Copies of this chain bind each other. A is one copy, B any other.
């Protein structure tokens, strides 16, 4: 599938033509040829073409012997093996992370006497009093103050606990940020913007490397346990992609081909979401809708398999102790009513507004961090935010707990025996009444108290999350986003429905609110709904979830097309060509191509009149990635394109190994070099490294078509011709720059016309 440029492993015809040619010494591709440099863009068509060549070679060999047949079968199955390994490792990692976060979050408050490696819940397993409010009554679990002073009540114990809570939080976050800075600078952040960029064909070496894989889970546990307002979902996707990258290196099929590697990474992202939420199908859809760039149907099935294995592994580890895949399993007994669609849609509107607000505020803060002095003290920033978070979080029971426990609390309906403060309706007098009557009971003081605390928690979470996302430690925002919003609706609707006799299901509102909020922030729709109902098991509530997600997306899109991940990609200046942006301006290829009007002419090579010295000068003087080859400077008829990297290597190789190649040797890109007198220097024949099928468009091609071609075919560059004559070149970065200019109505854009 090559067309973009420089196919180093010659095209088929080349092999046939060149077979008998004595001068053609480049039978073996030289080492390092056709790899990419860091922070460069890959050429999808070329990579795919290389893979097809490889595949053809294996297929034809497989007929030779049994051993080759076995090798070809192994090759065919290696994709599934990689998926299996990714699923197993990411499932295991997710399980371990879940257990570790549970334990370390509880460590901030106290310790289990019977076995210090137990979390609060595991510690009190037998006493069966693990509901939200009664959790202090378990004798095996001792708070630090109790352990150290023997007192459980009183201001002294409270202050000591408070102090130790903050201390632990600071310690955790300091450890996290230090580990990241020392060992794996790429382990910070959620990783999803970078993964999107990498999947679109950009090279960031080390981003998915072994060190990141080692350090990210550890720092993630530390960061989440420190109580910072961040989720482990995005980072888990990053970790899964690191697994994917690791297992790619086992098979040359994947490690040596950037396009195939990206297929594996897409599937790994699906596995990551699958374990983050226990939502295998949601994971596949997330990979498809949100992160992947090139997602053939084959990858869909592979992702599906990886997500399945990962979810299954997680289920076997069973970190939630309920042998369910579902993270926040809820079972509502009431159906929803048609009229409730109105509040659901309102929730969608609020979610959209919140999403817009969050993105704007967070991007503004991140920009400030980038441009001012602040960015120079990342450790201090993390410590400060952790300190403030811990300081403000402890007094409020809803923020003191880990966020996932809180969500599970909020999503659940009140049962008759529920002891949570939120369910503190006055039901003591008539305990004999059936459970269905609960909504009719008047709310007790605990409910109002809880609502008040939730309101504070909501505001606190909203503000702190804006500052947290983008800090230099592993951080995600799925769960914080969720939580922020469903507090909100809880408050509104709890009050709104209290007077009515037939009360609605508050847990459902929490769920819908969470979906709306996440939709506003990330702009996912289908995958979001699937994740939400896989997360909660609420298949009956697809319609409310859909309504909220779509509304939220509409509202948020009205204020700005970009989700949080795209915004961060833009903030970091990655060359990401978003498939969602529609290019509707009336510019033509001729307006975008280089050289521009007053530039020096395009640097080209001729097929039979350039010397080795000329080529070396051209390579030294310019920094282009490749050069078009034309018949002659007069006719300017294009015959091919040669990669800078291949050219450099080929000349170096020839100078070392081939006799008679000197600076004045003529470089030939033609099929046959002419017979020269022996006195002339030996010619250098380089047709092998010439891409004979460079991608061309005419100068009249509208830019919308060019953008479409770049997107769909994954080109790096494209040559511009007019009636067969070479005029210029358009690279992916030219396209991106042009799009940005047209978008911002930059005055510079007029210059082009």
Residues of A near any B CB (own CB < 8 A): 1-3, 11-13, 45, 48-49, 52, 55-56, 59, 280-281, 284-285, 289, 296-298, 300-301, 304-305, 308, 311-312, 315-316, 323-326, 335, 338, 525-526, 529-530, 533-534, 537, 539-540, 542-543, 546-547, 550, 553, 579-580, 582, 584-590, 631, 635, 637-639, 692-694, 696-698, 700-702, 704-705, 707-709, 712-713, 721, 723-725
B45 touches A708 (CB 8 A): yes
Task: Give A539 to B284 CA distance when docked, in angstroms.
Answer: 16
- Chain B nearest CB: distance from A214 CB in Å? 30
Which residue of chain B has its CB nearest to the CB of A525?
A: B301
A700 touches B709 (CB 8 A): no
Known A49-B702, A285-B285, A693-B700; further 9 A-B contacts with Cβ < 8 A = A1-B707, A49-B704, A281-B526, A297-B579, A301-B526, A324-B540, A325-B543, A326-B539, A693-B701
A13-B588, A713-B712 known; A694 vs B698 contact (CB < 8 Å)? yes
Task: Give A301 to B324 CA distance when docked, in angstroms.
Answer: 30
A638 touches B543 (CB 8 A): no
A550-B305, A584-B59 known; A526 vs B300 contact (CB < 8 Å)? yes
Chain B residues with CB below 8 A from A525, complex form: 300-301, 304
Interface pairs (11), CB distance under 8 Å:
A1-B702, A11-B700, A297-B580, A300-B525, A305-B546, A308-B547, A308-B550, A692-B698, A709-B713, A713-B713, A721-B724
A539-B539, A631-B723 known; A702 vs B713 contact (CB < 8 Å)? no
Complex copy number for this chain: 2
Chain B residues with CB below 8 A from A546, complex form: 280, 304-305, 308
Q: Which of B311, B542, B725 contacts A325 (CB 8 A)?
A: B542
Task: Give A610 to B315 CA distance when docked, in angstroms.
Answer: 74
Secondary structure call for the A interface: helix
- Chain B nearest CB: distance from A476 CB in Å? 22
B693 touches A696 (CB 8 A): no
A723 touches B639 (CB 8 A): yes
Chain B residues with CB below 8 A from A537, complex form: 539-540
A724 touches B638 (CB 8 A): yes
Chain B residues with CB below 8 A from A311, complex form: 542-543
Which residue of chain B has its CB nearest to the CB of A280?
A: B542
Chain B residues with CB below 8 A from A308, complex form: 542-543, 546-547, 550
A3-B705, A49-B702 known; A281 vs B529 contact (CB < 8 Å)? yes
List 9 tightest A-B contacts by C-beta distance, closest first: A724-B724, A692-B700, A693-B701, A637-B724, A12-B586, A712-B712, A1-B708, A3-B705, A637-B723
- Chain B nearest CB: distance from A29 CB in Å? 17
Task: Give A694 to B698 CA distance when docked, in angstroms.
Answer: 8
A49 touches B301 (CB 8 A): no
A52-B584, A525-B304 known; A638 vs B2 contact (CB < 8 Å)? no
Which residue of chain B has its CB nearest to the CB of A284?
A: B526
Q: Which of B55, B542, B582, B725 contacts A724 (CB 8 A)?
A: B725
Chain B residues with CB below 8 A from A296, complex form: 579
Chain B residues with CB below 8 A from A298, complex form: 580
Chain B residues with CB below 8 A from A707, complex form: 1
Task: Give A543 to B721 CA distance when docked, in angstroms.
Answer: 54
B13 touches A584 (CB 8 A): no
Task: Give A1 to B696 CA distance when docked, in angstroms.
Answer: 15
Task: Give A52 to B705 CA distance when docked, in angstroms.
Answer: 10
Task: Give A254 to B543 CA distance when docked, in angstroms.
Answer: 27
A723 touches B638 (CB 8 A): yes
Which residue of chain B has its CB nearest to the CB of A288?
A: B288
A702 touches B12 (CB 8 A): yes
- Chain B nearest CB: distance from A73 CB in Å? 12
- Chain B nearest CB: distance from A452 CB in Å? 35
- Chain B nearest CB: distance from A609 CB in Å? 15
Which residue of chain B has its CB nearest to the CB of A12?
A: B586
- Chain B nearest CB: distance from A170 CB in Å? 41
Chain B residues with CB below 8 A from A590, complex form: 13
Which residue of chain B has its CB nearest to the CB of A691?
A: B700
Chain B residues with CB below 8 A from A280, complex form: 542-543, 546
Chain B residues with CB below 8 A from A300, complex form: 289, 525-526
Q: Which of B59, B631, B708 contacts A48 (CB 8 A)?
A: B708
Task: Give A298 to B580 CA distance when docked, in angstroms.
Answer: 8
Chain B residues with CB below 8 A from A547, complex form: 308
Task: Give A49 to B533 CA distance when docked, in angstroms.
Answer: 39
Which residue of chain B has its CB nearest to the CB of A580?
A: B297
B533 touches A539 (CB 8 A): yes
Q: Which of A284, A635, A702 has the most CB of B within 10 A?
A: A702
Task: Give A635 to B724 CA distance when docked, in angstroms.
Answer: 10
- Chain B nearest CB: distance from A474 CB in Å? 28
Q: Which of A48, A553, A585, A723 has the most CB of B within 10 A?
A: A723
Which residue of chain B has its CB nearest to the CB of A297?
A: B580
Task: Give A338 to B13 CA distance when docked, in angstroms.
Answer: 53
Which residue of chain B has its CB nearest to the CB of A542?
A: B280
Task: Give A550 to B409 CA distance when docked, in angstroms.
Answer: 36
Task: Give A638 to B305 CA distance when docked, in angstroms.
Answer: 49
- Chain B nearest CB: distance from A430 CB in Å? 30
Chain B residues with CB below 8 A from A59, complex form: 584
A700 touches B13 (CB 8 A): yes
Which residue of chain B has its CB nearest to the CB of A14?
A: B700
A526-B300, A700-B693 known; A55 vs B584 contact (CB < 8 Å)? yes
Which residue of chain B has its CB nearest to the CB of A323?
A: B335
- Chain B nearest CB: distance from A534 CB in Å? 7
A284-B526, A724-B721 known; A701 vs B584 contact (CB < 8 Å)? no
Chain B residues with CB below 8 A from A12, complex form: 586-588, 702
Chain B residues with CB below 8 A from A540, complex form: 324-325, 537
Task: Give A367 to B321 CA distance when docked, in angstroms.
Answer: 56
Which residue of chain B has its CB nearest to the CB of A714?
A: B712
B3 touches A709 (CB 8 A): yes
A705 touches B45 (CB 8 A): yes
A3 touches B638 (CB 8 A): no
- Chain B nearest CB: distance from A411 CB in Å? 15
Chain B residues with CB below 8 A from A585, complex form: 56
A525-B304, A584-B59 known; A2 vs B723 contact (CB < 8 Å)? no
Chain B residues with CB below 8 A from A543, complex form: 280, 308, 311-312, 315, 325
A1-B704, A525-B301, A702-B11 known; A56 vs B692 contact (CB < 8 Å)? no
Task: Give A10 to B547 CA distance when docked, in angstroms.
Answer: 42
Chain B residues with CB below 8 A from A326, complex form: 539
Task: Give A533 to B312 CA distance when docked, in angstroms.
Answer: 17
- Chain B nearest CB: distance from A94 CB in Å? 16
Task: Give A546 to B589 CA distance when docked, in angstroms.
Answer: 47
